[in-house]
Structure 1
Amino acid sequence: MIAPGTAPAADRLRPPERVAVVDLDAIRSNVRRFVRVAAPARLMAVVKADAYGHGAVPVATAALEAGASWLGVAHIEEALALRAAGIDAPLLAWLHTPQSDFAGAIAAGIDLGSAGWELGPIAAVAVEQGQVARVHLKIDTGLGRNGSPAADWDALLSAAMAHQAAGRIRVVGVFSHLAVADEPDRPETDEQLAAFREFVALAERAGAAVEVRHLANTPATLTRPDTHFDLVRVGLGLYGLSPFAGTAPSALGLRPAMTLTSLVAQCKDVPAGQGVSYGLSYRTMGPSALGLIPLGYADGIPRIATGGPVRVNGVTYPVVGRIAMDQMVIDLGEAGLVASGRSATGAEAVLFGPGDDGEPSVDEWAAAAGTNNYEIVTRVSPRVQRRYLNAFPGAGDIRRQMTLESSTAVEDGPTARAARPA
């Protein structure tokens, strides 16, 4: 008898129809690269948004194994999920609303960012719990998003020091975020750095015993050692993607971690003038073959990304016509696989990968969609199964192994990818 809700063994071994394969050895390699670059500053691995679509728990575990000292997320609920998975590393959550679970965060030993209004609720909850909340004050040095305005910094420091003197909170960090570090020649980074130094000095004069000052993001970590301070926050670079336009990850010593694939669902010959997808914005120039790829905007593929590359049987084809909710179409050409007697149905379709086998890149899809590489990987939806390569270097921890296996497929070793259909 098969237990209710348990798939037969053959089904569990069947290759998925849509899969994002994440190589955790690539994550570890990238972390080690940033640890070396940032030293003596420590590394915060930013794993918000489910680790940019790669899987927060597996990525956080791999990052800590490779030398990351901290983890960073936007929301408390993301931090609590990491704690629930057994991850006890230093952890910061920085973006809150009046409904945020400050009580859960303080109880779980999560550091909290504050730009002003959050101090009162955080202090009140800390008093209720009989604990001292650890707080990082955020100053807006020019990005114009979250962070205390410069004019309010003195008032924020005064309130924070009053709460600290009363034993409600302890200010352990000061941080900010850079606006244009991915454009190294722009002067605004120098201006933000100078402002940050000034605001940190004001905090220290007010009585804050700051443990960590943090400003640098991925591009600044790579190009601006003067922004490193005590801690750097690396997001995009963890996943092996370049923050600089026109610069390949390999030029930065990074390895893209995610490969997104599906299987060709249908392949058919069509006549000249055949319209493709909604609006019939594309028509075949002559007799051709069309391949149907079962990925669409419900899977996170941008609807606007017509022209995005798909590699089938060693040849890269552009997506033609409008990308739909569940599917997209590639034009295999007059000498297409059907016309030549070799149907592509069931063949692997690679949207992007690390490039080792000539796969298209995340950056090519970003260009097709008119967006950045961050968005392409982050928006890959939960409908696309995640599989992990090299999840357990060495013996590993059985509890972590069970956590991973309960929610996703885990494959260990460098040959795991070869099990996918060719």
Structure 2
Amino acid sequence: MNETPALRTAPLRARAEIDLAAVRANVRTLRAMAPGAALMAVVKADGYGHGAVACARAAVAAGADWLGTATPQEALALRAEAGFPDHVRIMCWLWTPGGPWREAIEADLDVSVSAMWALGEVTEAARLAGRPARVQLKADTGLGRSGCQPGEDWAELVREALRAEAGGLLRVTGLWSHLACADEPGHPSIAAQLGLFREMVAYAEERGVRPEVRHIANSPATLTIPESHFDLVRTGIALYGISPSPDLGPPSDFGLRPAMTLSASLALVKQVPGGHGVSYGHRYVTPGATTLGLVPLGYADGIPRHASSAAPVLVEGKWRTIAGRVAMDQFVVDLSGDQPAPGAEAVLFGPGDRGEPTAEDWAQAAGTIAYEIVTRIGKRVPRVYVNEEPDG
């Protein structure tokens, strides 16, 4: 096992250990599930909290053909790191008026366009840059977020994009959309969206659009809806070894392995009597004499306050529960009389190999989804990368 050199021996308050071998293995597994499609590794939100650059490199090493981000700033930062083979494309899709269109064009990014205002801005930026933009037209097939509405709006967007393409200002490289309920097996919106996507793609292609890729599949669709794979699948949370939904089954059902393990060193272990209040508001009072352990992580580090008195932590082989409220920088666990040494490891979540809780366990305790648990881990928690070198 190899680890980020600067952090090998330094004592850490807390650490998010990222197993890049798991990321590479997950990419290979996902590619095998969609053998006829290219794979986009989505590394938005700093790689769902795992580190965008490190995870992008691991994904590309394992065969990812595309990288995806939400904002153009994320994509530009990724491009600036360089080191990716020429065939690897980078796409970004969350634009607002006045965005860095010219910078994106000059960085050879694929940009998403959902409306006429965006098409106007990207074509003007292409004129200024003196080179065509790589544009992917997004269709709203039922999610109701970004994307162009079917009917006259789509007809206008396609017509004007083709006009700009004929003028050498852009190249329509993709047609795409996003599923609303792919994590709910059998939901009627899935078939409806796929049907509408096919219609909107056919309309564009009948009028002369020749996209490099057509895509609608996110992680849950990649895992469970083969007919959604088209030319490209966009894998986000599954890339990091987390199941998109408990309804679909745990990661192991799909051959995926969670990449992040979040742990901390106990800052204090002390004996207290029964009836002792713990943390703000005394929402937890010790039922009898016991020992308390102080875990130096809090909501400033991304620990959900909703996990108060609910989320599990592994200390010395036993599951403990957060005692009382999560504070800004720390929380407490009741150790039931056990007395681990200060500095003992407290594992909040990981793959589960050592009996530790998983991100899904934390999601259930906090009333949220595993996506949020890993993505919200803050910058105060160092990412420590292990298994950085590709296998074999």
TMscore range, shorter length:
over 0.9
CA drift at 1:244:
2.5
CA drift at 1:294:
0.3
**What does residue 112 of structure 2 align with?**
113
1:241 aligns with 2:242: yes
Gaps of 5+ in 2: none
Matches within 5 A, 1:282-321: 282-306=284-308, 307-321=310-324
State the alpha-carbon separation in 2 of the partners of residues 36 and 77 from structure 1: 31
CA drift at 1:210:
1.1
CA drift at 1:12:
7.0
**What does residue 346 of structure 1 align with?**
343
**What does residue 19 of structure 1 align with?**
15
**What does residue 31 of structure 2 align with?**
35
State the alpha-carbon separation in 2 of the partners of residues 325 and 188 from structure 1: 41
Question: Which amino acid in structure 2 is aligned with residue 186 of structure 1?
Answer: H
CA drift at 1:115:
0.1
State the alpha-carbon separation in 2 of the partners of residues 211 and 294 from structure 1: 49
**What does residue 376 of structure 1 align with?**
373
**What does residue 5 of structure 1 align with?**
none
State the alpha-carbon separation in 2 of the partners of residues 99 and 35 from structure 1: 36
Question: SS at the partner of 1:123?
Answer: helix
Contact 2:21 2:391 in 1 (8 A): no
Q: 4+ residue stretches of structure 1 with deviation over 6 A?
A: 9-12
Question: Which amino acid in structure 2 is aligned with residue 123 of structure 1?
Answer: T
Could you report, residue by residue, the CA deviation over 1:72-110 in whole angstroms, capped at 9, with x for unpaired residues? 000111111111111442010011011321111110100
Which structure has more relative contact order (CA 8 Å, sep 6+)? It is 2
1:71 aligns with 2:67: yes
**What does residue 187 of structure 1 align with?**
188
Change (3 A) 1:11 1:35: closer
Matches within 5 A, 1:265-276: 265-276=267-278
State the alpha-carbon separation in 2 of the partners of residues 10 and 63 from structure 1: 23
Matches within 5 A, 1:23-102: 23-88=19-84, 89-102=88-101
Contact 1:26 1:255 in 2 (8 A): yes
**What does residue 211 of structure 2 align with?**
210
Contact 1:270 1:290 in 2 (8 A): yes
What TM-score do you get using the length of structure 2 for normalisation? 0.95
CA drift at 1:248:
1.3
State the alpha-carbon separation in 1 of the partners of residues 76 and 131 from structure 2: 18
**What does residue 383 of structure 2 align with?**
386
State the alpha-carbon separation in 1 of the partners of residues 259 and 391 from structure 2: 20
Could you report, residue by residue, the CA deviation over 1:140-167 in whole angstroms, capped at 9, with x for unpaired residues? 0000001111241111111111111111
Question: SS at the partner of 1:124?
Answer: helix
Question: Which amino acid in structure 2 is aligned with residue 256 of structure 1?
Answer: P
What TM-score do you get using the length of structure 1 for normalisation? 0.88
State the alpha-carbon separation in 1 of the partners of residues 99 and 62 from structure 2: 31
State the alpha-carbon separation in 1 of the partners of residues 30 and 8 from structure 2: 37
**What does residue 325 of structure 1 align with?**
328
Could you report, residue by residue, the CA deviation over 1:117-139 in whole angstroms, capped at 9, with x for unpaired residues? 21111111111111010100000
Question: Which amino acid in structure 2 is aligned with residue 363 of structure 1?
Answer: E
State the alpha-carbon separation in 2 of the partners of residues 288 and 99 from structure 1: 59
Gaps of 5+ in 1: 1-8, 396-422
Between Structure 1 and Structure 2, how many residues are aligned?
381
State the alpha-carbon separation in 1 of the partners of residues 11 and 28 from structure 2: 31
State the alpha-carbon separation in 1 of the partners of residues 146 and 357 from structure 2: 35
Q: Which moved more, 1:32-41 or 1:151-160?
A: 151-160
Contact 2:19 2:386 in 1 (8 A): yes
1:129 aligns with 2:129: yes
Q: Which moved more, 1:241-250 or 1:259-268?
A: 241-250
Percentage of identical aligned residues: 54
Change (3 A) 1:264 1:36: same
Question: SS at the partner of 1:30?
Answer: helix
